[in-house]
Each structure stands twice: as structure tokens, then as C-alpha cells.
Chains A and B, each alone.
Chain A
């Protein structure tokens, strides 16, 4: 196969690329330039978008003896991921930008360009497995802590058919050891976390600069009493406990959590943990990894955020094409804007069935 390896400059994509080369594929490395104003050096452990990261990727490609290019996707990334992220927060939602990047950039804009240029697949360093089937089955990674199947659950059967995840069967520690053994300098490069396009790590400040001050009230769900003022709903997410700005304890002395966000009025409702319980979820634009819509209610395990938040459930597609998920047991912290990913309810529980973007929960 002709394989385009997306190389971030990190250890995971370097080893994934190396394995694609070992498998006998004709591999070309591509680093995606996603920042419109890349810094010369990496800041801390955040991001993959500095010139230093591009240099690390280039160095790995040179060691592997494959051609390497930097492709500029900054404009598409800004439009499809960053602007979407800001708009979702402004609308009171909690978006997942990694998921959006997979959906719109890596396995869409990049993959389409790759296929048009004669490549057969895009290879990445994601921690997930693809079983050889037609269409391929997306499964959780062997390394449960690193599993990224949740942020890949938005991929369609067509997208998965042109994807390669060579390191999903390997624990992270082994990936690092393998990188060292292969002479890849990124073997001990720190993991990147947080959001790559917010190098400061201060999401609230990043959003504040872009959304501006839209003050509103923090209101007690039971009494309707105003407990505090805030600068904008973008500072809140469903289930949030800290940073609510409330200066007095609740009457019952228990902590309060964000229960609801009303972007039009700027009202943030807070209340006790028990009120966070959700038993039913609505999702928009469901994607079925197998390529066919289920013909009736589907037993599954639902996952409502990147790590944790699992419950057995029944899911079905409604007449208008959206998804409804009824949970067997309640989940907390179900935030619109996040994805609900559905897994096969067998013992392993690792096969991804599909996903949708959460629009409402109750």
C-alpha cells in the first residue's frame, strides 16, 4: 500500500510510521502545520504545532529513510476546529477539539487529499485498534489509559477503511522503548496533553479573548436565587464544581455543580450532585462505524466523555435521524457538545459501534 503517515513530531506517530515502513508499505511522512503563527520552540508539554515539533517529525522521517513534507492545514484547522471550539463554548456546550480534528482534518481534509494524490491509507499514532474486516472494526487500544477510540468514534466506515493505527496493540511504555531501540530521538519526549492550540493552557482566558465578556448570573436551581455573577458561559461546563465564584456555602452544606447553561440569557444553573444524574441522551448526526444504520434498538455501552463515564444502554435512531440513548443506570457530567460513543456490550466491551454529538441530556 501507499501510506501517508501523519507525523506530529511525537513518539507515538514516529513509532506508528516506523511500523508502517516495516510492514512493507510505501510510506511518505507528512507533518500538518496547524497553527497560523507557529512558535519556534515547544512550550512545556503542550501541542504539536511548533517548528521544533515539525523538526522532530522531520528527523524521525529521515531516520526511517522516508520522504517528508509539511502540509499547511492551518486555515482549515482554524475554521473547522478552533472556530468550532469557540462557537460551541459560546453556545454553552463543551466541545472536544481532538475529536473534531479527527473528523474534519486528519481523516477528512488530509485523507481526501492523500487519496486524491494516490495514497491508499493515512497512518496515525492513535491508540486504537482496527481489525481487518470490511469495513474494519474499530476497537479500544490495549493500553486502557491511552485508549483514544472515543475521539475516533466519529469516523465513518469509509474513513476507517483508509486508516491505519499501528500502535493500538501496544502499551505506551513499550512504544517508548521501541522508539529508543529504533534510534528515534523522540523516545523520551514528554507526552502532549491539553489543547494543542492553547499553548498557555488557560482555556478560559483563550475563550474570553475571542468571545468577550458576556456577563450573566449563577443561579440556584432550587431557590432560583442569584448566587454570583460571571463573565460568560464559556467558563462553565456541565458537572463543573470549582470556579463557580459562589462566596457562601449551600444551605445543606453540600457542594454545588453546574447543572445547566443557558447561553441566550447567560444563566448558569447550579445544584446538588444528585441533580446531575442523566438517564437519557439525545445526539445529533450519528455515525455508524460499520457503515449501516441499526435496524432497531441496539444494546450497547455508552461513553460520554474521553475518559470514564460509561453505562450500559439502549440506543436507537429516531425518525428525524438523530440518536437517542437510554442509560440503564444514571451518569453524571453529561455535557452537550461532547460525543456519546457506543461500544458493543460484550465482555471485552472494546468494539466501537458508532457515536453522535450530544445535544441534550435529561
Chain B
């Protein structure tokens, strides 16, 4: 259930939990047992966890032993980036270069920056094209410069802001050609695009529950059996000695339930959602003709799936401030985002759009509508009904702010 009377178009932030996942979590919450305990209650909990792990693994083309359960995307990204770096550098001190795309989520970007500030890493940002895609030749050129000094590569499967999908298989092949491990943040992709861990060949892959109909605070790092990572969290060593902490049995069950259902339903849902998305983009452009769709146009195919996330519509509105648009739409019960947020809630110009070559004004004047499994034609109609007046009003406010200094200065002289 979303907000009261809300038109919820922020599925990329979090998507409603699937009723089956809610039921599975609720049922499991009443079951006592630490999955690490040896007694009967512990064994029962352990069995539930391992069954869930197997179901999750099967749904994403991984082996159960490759599923490291975590609290979600941020932890998985931190574990992959820092863990791979420490492990690779320990094996070979020359390996200090970290190759990360410019358009990564902050969980990857800030982890890599932290390594550069505190652990002697050399962070190299892989450039993206105007659609926000890492081109294979970009990675190849960076690798070829001294492959023996690269610790790891991290490129997200699909971008959370503009929806552009990266050619992960090709990027994996290039990294492996040079013997370097590669991580991919697939938080936006799993359950939406065809993601198969074994087939893509990545060494580590991040997924999280709340983006695909599972609970918050539950996710996984898929980690190849041969891939060494140094742990972040020390303690009982519950997850392959790579991650410690009592396993959250109900959340894991909810996560596996959601992954299974989302993956099974993904092809059908992608078609429906992409249809609604295209309709939305068309109607927004009809009401605000200078609105521009950012990212891949979505007409291509990558690794057997669409070249753009089916539910993503990221648009720039020249002359508008994103925060004005958000507020005005919110007043009409329409919930969306600018695509990036920070802890104080200040809308920063998106690093993704800036990396794609947008100027700061364009980067500040953007909105992300993200559709998902509960989206309907009524949601699209609700946006279409108000977007024209909202953009017009936001534009007046935006221009008002820009012209202010000049007008006041003129008034002062008169």
C-alpha cells in the first residue's frame, strides 16, 4: 500500500512488497530459532534459510554457495568494492587501481573514493557516453594501460537514474581477458531484466530485496566460489566467513520469495511496464514539448533484454528546478523523484547527468518517474492531467529565481 490516494511512480526508490513476500515474512517472524544454533529450533530456522538461499540462487543463475546474504545494496556494494580491493592488493601489492564507472550509485562511488583516501587506491572513473553507458573500448583502454596494477572493476548493470543498461557480458569478458575481477551493482536489474550470474560471468553481483517486491534491509552479494574478498563485518562468520551477523531468517525468506516471483514474471511485466512508460513519456512531451528524455532511447537490445530499464522515464524540463517539480507533483498526489537524494534531502545536481555531459541547470531540472508492478494506465493519466500546468508553474518559479539579482539591483539604483 502506498501513500493515501497517491500515484506512486517511484518504484526505483522502492517498490511495493509482493503480497506473497509479506505473507512469507509475516509467517516466519513468529518462528523462533537462530540459524546457527544446533538444536531443533536452530535446525528448523537453518533449513528455512538454506531453502530460501537455494530458491534465490536458482532464480538468478547462481549456486547456493555463491549467495552471501547481506542487509542490501549498500552493504553488498561496500563488501564487493572494499573486499575485492583488500583481497587483491594483499595478493599482489601492485594492484591498487580501482576502475569504476562515473555513473555508479554512491554506495560504489563513495566506497571507491574512501579506498583512495584511506587505503592507497588509485580511483579511475570510467567515462560514459551521452546516454550514460560505459563503452567496452573505454574499459579496454583503461585496462590495457597496465593491467597488472588493476585491483577490480565495478560497473552497474543498469543505472538507477536514467535507466541505461550496460553491456555487462562484454565488460566482464574484457576484465577477465586481463585477469581482473569485476563487480556489478544489479540492484535495478534483478527481477526486471534477464540477469543470470553464471551466464554473465561477473565475479560479484549486488541485488537487494526492496527494489523487486521483497523486504527492506535484505539483499545479497552473489560472489563466485573462487573469488576472494576480505570481510567488512567480523564475528561469527555466518556467511562463508565473508560476512558475519545472525542471519535474518524472515527477511531472507521474503527476499527469496520476491526474487523468485519477480524473475518469473519479468518478461511479461517488462512489456507491460515499458508500454505504460512509453505512453507516459509521450503524454509528458505532448504537454511539455521541450521536455527531453535522458538516457538510452530504449529501442535496442543488450544481453537479451531491453537497452533501457522498462519502467524508467527520466526527463529534463528546461528552466525548471527539480525540487519545484517534485513539490508541485506531490501536491497533486504524484510521487516521483529527481533520481538522486542525499541525507539532508538537498537536491544536488545529478552526477550521472553531469557525467553524460549535461550542464548543471539541466541536471537540476530533471525528474525520474519509475514504474513497476503496481503501475496502471490511471497512473499515467494522472500525470498527463497535471504535468503541463506543473511544468509551467515550476518554470515561472525557476526563472523568477534566476532573474532576481538583476531586478533587485535595478530597483536599488532607481
Which residue numbers of A lie inside 8 Å of B, CB to CB?
A: 28, 31, 33, 38, 51, 54, 58, 67, 69-72, 79, 104, 108-109, 112-113, 116-118, 285
Contact between chains at B323 and A69 (CB < 8 Å): yes
Known interface pairs A54-B344, A116-B393; 15 further A-B residue pairs with C-beta atoms within 8 A, sorted by A's residue number: A38-B344, A51-B344, A67-B331, A69-B326, A69-B345, A70-B346, A72-B323, A72-B346, A72-B348, A79-B405, A104-B408, A108-B404, A108-B408, A117-B324, A117-B327
Q: Does residue B343 face the partner (Cβ distance < 8 Å to A)? A: yes
Q: Does residue B120 face the partner (Cβ distance < 8 Å to A)? A: no
A151 to B106 CA separation, bound complex (whole angstroms): 41
Contact between chains at B401 and A112 (CB < 8 Å): yes
Chain B, 358-414, CB within 8 A of any chain A CB: 393-394, 396-397, 400-401, 404-405, 408, 412
Which chain B positions have C-beta within 8 A of A113? 324, 397, 400-401
Most buried by B among A72, A104, A117: A117
Q: Does residue B261 face the partner (Cβ distance < 8 Å to A)? A: no
Q: Does residue B328 face the partner (Cβ distance < 8 Å to A)? A: yes
Distance of B323 from chain A, by nearest CB (Å): 6
Contact between chains at A109 and B346 (CB < 8 Å): no
The residue on A at minimum CB distance from B397 is A116
A29 to B34 CA separation, bound complex (whole angstroms): 45
Across the A-B interface, how many residue pairs have beta carbons closer than 8 Å?
Answer: 54
Query: Provided the pairs A38-B344, A58-B345, A108-B404 are in contact, do residues A116 and B396 lie with their beta carbons within 8 angstroms?
Result: yes
Q: Does residue B330 face the partner (Cβ distance < 8 Å to A)? A: yes
Query: Provided the pairs A28-B327, A69-B326 are in contact, do residues A118 and B393 lie with their beta carbons within 8 angstroms?
Result: yes
Distance of A72 from chain B, by nearest CB (Å): 5
Contact between chains at A112 and B346 (CB < 8 Å): no
Which chain B positions have C-beta within 8 A of A67? 327, 330-331
Contact between chains at A51 and B343 (CB < 8 Å): yes
A101 to B393 CA separation, bound complex (whole angstroms): 25
A104 to B394 CA separation, bound complex (whole angstroms): 21
Which chain B positions have C-beta within 8 A of A38? 344
Distance of B10 from chain A, by nearest CB (Å): 15
Which chain B positions have C-beta within 8 A of A33? 344, 346
Main secondary structure of the interface of B (DSSP, over half): helix
Contact between chains at B345 and A54 (CB < 8 Å): yes
A58 to B324 CA separation, bound complex (whole angstroms): 18
Which chain B positions have C-beta within 8 A of A116? 393, 396-397, 400
The residue on B at minimum CB distance from A80 is B405
A31 to B397 CA separation, bound complex (whole angstroms): 17
Most buried by A among B330, B397, B412: B397
Distance of B401 from chain A, by nearest CB (Å): 6
A216 to B99 CA separation, bound complex (whole angstroms): 54
8 contacts between A and B (CB under 8 A): A54-B344, A54-B345, A67-B331, A70-B345, A71-B323, A71-B346, A72-B347, A113-B401
Distance of A196 from chain B, by nearest CB (Å): 15
Main secondary structure of the interface of A (DSSP, over half): mixed
Most buried by A among B343, B345, B401, B405: B345
Which chain A positions have C-beta within 8 A of B328? 117-118
Most buried by B among A71, A104, A112, A116: A116
A33 to B344 CA separation, bound complex (whole angstroms): 8
Chain B, 62-106, CB within 8 A of any chain A CB: none
Which chain B positions have C-beta within 8 A of A70? 344-347
Contact between chains at B397 and A117 (CB < 8 Å): yes
Distance of A73 from chain B, by nearest CB (Å): 9
The 7 closest A-B pairs by CB, nearest first: A116-B397, A70-B345, A116-B400, A51-B344, A33-B346, A72-B346, A116-B396
A108 to B412 CA separation, bound complex (whole angstroms): 14
A72 to B342 CA separation, bound complex (whole angstroms): 12
Which chain A positions have C-beta within 8 A of B394? 117
The residue on B at minimum CB distance from A321 is B414
Which chain A positions have C-beta within 8 A of B400? 112-113, 116
Most buried by A among B326, B394, B404, B412: B404
Contact between chains at B331 and A109 (CB < 8 Å): no
A69 to B328 CA separation, bound complex (whole angstroms): 11
A109 to B396 CA separation, bound complex (whole angstroms): 13
Q: Map CB proximity to A onto B322-354 as digits: 1 under 8 Å, 0 otherwise.
A: 011011101100000000000111111000000
Which chain A positions have C-beta within 8 A of B405? 79
Distance of B344 from chain A, by nearest CB (Å): 5
Contact between chains at B393 and A117 (CB < 8 Å): yes
A67 to B326 CA separation, bound complex (whole angstroms): 11
The residue on B at minimum CB distance from A31 is B345
**Which of B323, B327, B401, B412 is in CB contact (< 8 Å) with A109?**
B401
Contact between chains at B397 and A69 (CB < 8 Å): no
Which chain B positions have C-beta within 8 A of A54? 344-345
A52 to B310 CA separation, bound complex (whole angstroms): 37
Q: Map CB proximity to A onto B250-269 as digits: 1 under 8 Å, 0 otherwise.
A: 00000000000000000000
A285 to B346 CA separation, bound complex (whole angstroms): 34
The residue on B at minimum CB distance from A104 is B408
A140 to B387 CA separation, bound complex (whole angstroms): 44
Which chain A positions have C-beta within 8 A of B401? 109, 112-113
Distance of B153 from chain A, by nearest CB (Å): 32
The residue on A at minimum CB distance from B395 is A116
Chain B, 122-153, CB within 8 A of any chain A CB: none
Distance of B393 from chain A, by nearest CB (Å): 6
**Which of A58, A109, A117, A285 is in CB contact (< 8 Å) with B404?**
A109
Distance of A115 from chain B, by nearest CB (Å): 8
Which chain A positions have C-beta within 8 A of B327? 28, 67, 69, 117
Which chain A positions have C-beta within 8 A of B344? 33, 38, 51, 54, 70
A104 to B411 CA separation, bound complex (whole angstroms): 13
Which chain B positions have C-beta within 8 A of A72? 323, 346-348
The residue on B at minimum CB distance from A71 is B323
The residue on B at minimum CB distance from A67 is B330
